[in-house]
Copies of this chain bind each other. A is one copy, B any other.
Amino acid sequence: MEMNIALLPGDGIGPEVIAQAVKVVKAVGEKFGHRISFEEAPVGAVAIDQTGDPYPDATHEVCLRGDAVLFGAIGDPKYDNDPKAKVRPEQGLLLMRQKLGLFANVRPTFTFPSLVHKSPLKLERVDGVDFVFFRELTGGVYFGEPRGRNEQGTKAFDTNVYSKEEITRLARMGFEAAQKRRKHLTCVDKANVMATSRLWRETVQELAPEYPDVKVEYEFVDAVAMRLIQWPKAYDVLITENLFGDILTDEASVISGSMGLMPSASLGIDIKLFEPIHGSYPQAAGKDIANPLATVLSAAMMFEYAFDLKEEAQAISDVVNKSLTEGVVTEDIAEGGKAYKTSEVGDWLAANI
C-alpha cells in the first residue's frame, strides 16, 4: 500500500517523539512492504516563530494532502503567562481541529500490567480499567461566538454553543463503539445548569432507541469527576462536550499509571489525526529524555483506524510491550533500571519490529 503521512511535530518534545514514531512507521513499511512517504509541516509556537501563524495555510495543505496526520504536541510557556499575547500556539491546534473538521477525539484509557503499579490509585481500583472517551472537539466554548471583552476591558465573556447535528454525530460514534465493547454508554453533561447540556441529554435520549442493546446512563460532569477516581472500572464508553472532555480525559489519563503511553485519535469525515495525549512538556524539550511510546502507539492507531491495517498496528503494540518487558524505556518509567534515551528507545523499537 502507498501512504503519505503528514507529520506535524509541533513544539517542545513533539519533534523528538515524532522522530521515533517515524522510525517505527518506516520499519513497519519495510517489513510489510508499504511505500510510506512523509511530509512535514510546522504548527504551534514553531510555526509562529517561522511564519507568524500558528497553523499556516501551507501546513493545512500538507494535512489535506496526507492520508493521515501524525501530530506531536503544541504549547510553549513563553506564551502562557502573557494574557495579552495576540497569537498563541494553542490557536494553531484549535484552528487545525476546526479546519480539518476533527470533531471526535477518541481517548482510550487502559492499563499495562507492567506499569499499573505506578498508578496513584490503589491496584484493586484500577487494575483492568478499560474505558474510552469520545470528546467532541470542534464545538462548544472553544469556538463559540461572541467571546472577548467589553470596551473598558473590565468584563470578559465566552459562549458555549452546540447544535443537535454536532451532538448527534459525536453521540453516534459513542453508541457504535459501545456496541462493539461492553454496551454501556455514559453521557456526561451538566444538564442541571447548562442549556447546552440539556440539548445534549435530549439528543442522546432521542437516539438511544436506535441502539437498544446499549445501556445509556446520564451523569453530571462533577459526579463523573469523582467516580472516575472512585470506580474507574464502572465505565465503558463516555461521550461528552469539548470542555468537559478536556478536563475529564486529562483526569482519566493519570489513572492507569501509564500516561506517557496513552495514544489518541481525532477523527473527522475524511481526515484522521493521531497524537499522544501528553503535552509539549517544555521542561524536557531537547534533552532526549521524553517517552516516545504514546506517539508510537498513536502510529499504531493510525495503521488500524486510517488504513485498516490491523496486523501492522499489532506489530507496533507488540514491540512496545516487548520494550516494556525488557526494560528498554525512558527515565520516566525506568524505576531504578537503566534509563534509555528517547532516540535509543526509537532505534530499539524500529530494529525489533
Residues of A within 8 A of B (CB): 75, 80-81, 83-84, 88, 90, 94, 120-122, 125, 141-142, 144, 147-149, 154-165, 190-196, 198-199, 201-202, 205, 218, 221-223, 225-226, 229-230, 243-244, 246-251, 253-255, 259
Kindly identify which residue among B83, B142, B149, B199 contacts A201, using a CB–CB cutoff of 8 Å. Answer: B83
Whether the pair A193, B157 counts as a contact (CB closer than 8 A) is no
Q: Are B223 and A250 in contact (CB under 8 A)?
A: yes
Q: Which residues of B contact A155 (CB under 8 A)?
A: 161-164, 199
- Whether the Cβ atoms of A83 and B202 lie closer than 8 Å is yes
A226 and B254 contacting across the interface, CB-CB below 8 Å: yes
Known contacts A157-B160, A158-B160, A190-B246; 19 further A-B pairs (Cβ under 8 A): A81-B205, A83-B201, A83-B205, A90-B192, A90-B193, A121-B121, A141-B194, A156-B162, A157-B159, A157-B162, A157-B195, A158-B161, A159-B159, A221-B247, A222-B251, A225-B247, A225-B248, A226-B254, A251-B251
**How many copies of this protein are present in the complex?**
2
Determine the distance from Cα of A206 to Cα of B202 in the docked complex, in whole angstroms: 43
Which 8 residue pairs spanning A and B have beta carbons closest together?
Answer: A156-B199, A222-B250, A225-B251, A83-B198, A157-B161, A83-B202, A90-B192, A158-B160
- Measured between beta carbons, the chain B residues less than 8 angstroms from A243 are 190
Q: Are A149 and B199 in contact (CB under 8 A)?
A: yes
